[in-house]
Amino acid sequence: MAHDGSLKVILGSLAGNGAIAAAKITAAVVTGSGSMLGEALHSVADCLNQLLLLVGAHQAQKPPTESHPLGYGRSAYFWSFLVAVMLFFGGGVFSLREGIEKLREPEPIAHVSVALIILAISLGIEILSLTQAARELSRRRGEVPFFRYLRTTTDADLVVLFAENSGDVFGLVVALLALALSLYTGDSRWDALGSLGIGALLTGIAGVLSREVASLLLGERADPSIERAFREEAALDPALGPVLRVLTVQQGPDQVMLAAKLEAQAGHDAVALAEAYNRLEARVRARCPEVKWQFLEPDTTD
């Protein structure tokens, strides 16, 4: 399965969003608020998204087969990409549509205080979920700056969850402000503007996530530190010639394929060369356990 930390964060968010979705749906029916309805559907979409992330995490750990010799690691990226698409259509587009309709035909909002209480409680729960995701990201990033890690990490499920939780928090703040202004001014168009704001926020997040996850799905280079480690380990063995070319591909969370060409050394027979390659593979695997496949080939500079 995926990182225990990732699973804990996903399951925690799923439990919280399930409770929040039920409360928001009830409040949306009672109040008739467009912002609340948009938030309710956002939470329902979040629950579905987290279920998809769990499916992806499970499938990514399936062992290689004859039809998929490099395993199913990219399944995690496929399902994460679906989550980004669902976030766009399931939350963003619907909220925009709801806001436009409410602007065209404003409707009075009933029981605003009920909606405000539910939104405030939901905000507290979402902040806890966001904090949990941020802590897991901070644990993994080490010395890498936080936002740089978000841009470069291959832990797509956790990044998607962090972005989703961030969107939830900001969306709830927007909904709270919109409803509060509607209550204060008596003008329900503030609620419609809140729905438009939530829709714009969700579509923006979905667009960024789609671009980042699509890059991994298509086959992105693994962390450059893996190539550096390979070159350093190869240089330690006098039986090996200089490294001519290294290619790495991220096949899934903690799953990397590495292929390399090394200059053939004169005077070494095939058996000695194979033994040297085996030693190198073992050292690289010990240093970078995420490298699951290594393909080494002797070559010349001509």
Here the CATH number for the domain that contains residue 55 is 1.20.1510.10
Same-domain pairing of 142 and 249: no
Q: What is the pLDDT of residues 35-45, one digit of tens each?
A: 667 667 767 77
Supply the pLDDT for residue 300: 81
| Number of structural domains found in the chain | 2
Assign residue 275 the CATH number of its domain: 3.30.70.1350
Report the percentage of the chain scoring pLDDT > 70: 92
Rounded mean pLDDT, 250-255? 86
Same-domain pairing of 153 and 199: yes
* pLDDT of 294 higher than 90: yes
Same-domain pairing of 246 and 261: yes
* pLDDT of 295 higher than 90: yes
Domain that holds residue 29: 4-218
Same-domain pairing of 266 and 212: no
Question: pLDDT: is 2 or 156 the higher one?
Answer: 156
Same-domain pairing of 249 and 295: yes
**CA nearest to 141, candidates 131, 128, 152:** 152
To the nearest whole number, what is the mean pLDDT of the chain?
A: 83
Report the percentage of the chain scoring pLDDT > 90: 16
Same-domain pairing of 204 and 246: no
Supply the pLDDT for residue 1: 42
Q: What is the pLDDT of residues 133-189, one digit of tens each?
A: 888 888 887 788 888 888 777 777 778 888 878 888 888 888 888 888 888 888 878
